[in-house]
Amino acid sequence: MTEERVLALAGLFQACALAQQLANDGRCDEGAMEASVASVFRIDAPSVVGVYGSISNVRLGLRSLIAQLDESDRDMAITRMAVTVMRLERSLSARADLRDKLQQGILAAQRQVDHFGVDSGQVCSRLAEVYASTLSILKPRVMVSGNPLQLQQPAVVEKVRTSLLAAVRSAVLWRQVGGRQWQLLLHRRQCSMLARGLLTGATLDQR
């Protein structure tokens, strides 16, 4: 396991944690959400850290990853979601047509980012549409459970879909840097140690 892979995993777990926060409470960590959404547009970043802007931008993801690996206070809903997203990314890799459609949708949303900003409702709405018209078609479908009252709110559903799109972005990145699902099982302790080290460094950088 490498730091790059752990960072990509943190990006994946952060996006899943945000989707779960939204499903439960209708709101989420705004700073983490902005970083996750921004990662969708950084297709040609020179490094894994570059995709997220900085390590401190995935602190929520690192904390979530550590919690899942430690087993003491893991949230199985987030773990299940992350594993499903990994499988969904594999389905996407076999569909060149949907990959093209996804890329075109993201490029169109990029123009809205330039105009309104990455955290705008217009961008979120566009990315949610992109998710619904591409990734929602594939199996397995990512099931998000939470508070039914929240999941009936169109704005919340849009944010959940946007965070799931960001999760797939990180799953693609994880595979690009050599990540495989079995590594999570075999290198659990090493992954947790690396995540703790990255989190400590990011926390110190913030002071």
CATH number, domain at 32? 1.10.3890.10
Q: Which residues of the chain have pLDDT under 70?
A: 205-207
pLDDT value of position 185: 83
Task: Give the CA angle between residues 146, 120, 113 to the nearest 5°.
Answer: 125
User: How many separate domains does the chain show?
Assistant: 1
What pTM was computed for the model? 0.95
Indicate the length of the chain as a whole number.
207
Range of the domain at 76: 3-206
pLDDT value of position 26: 96
pLDDT value of position 206: 64
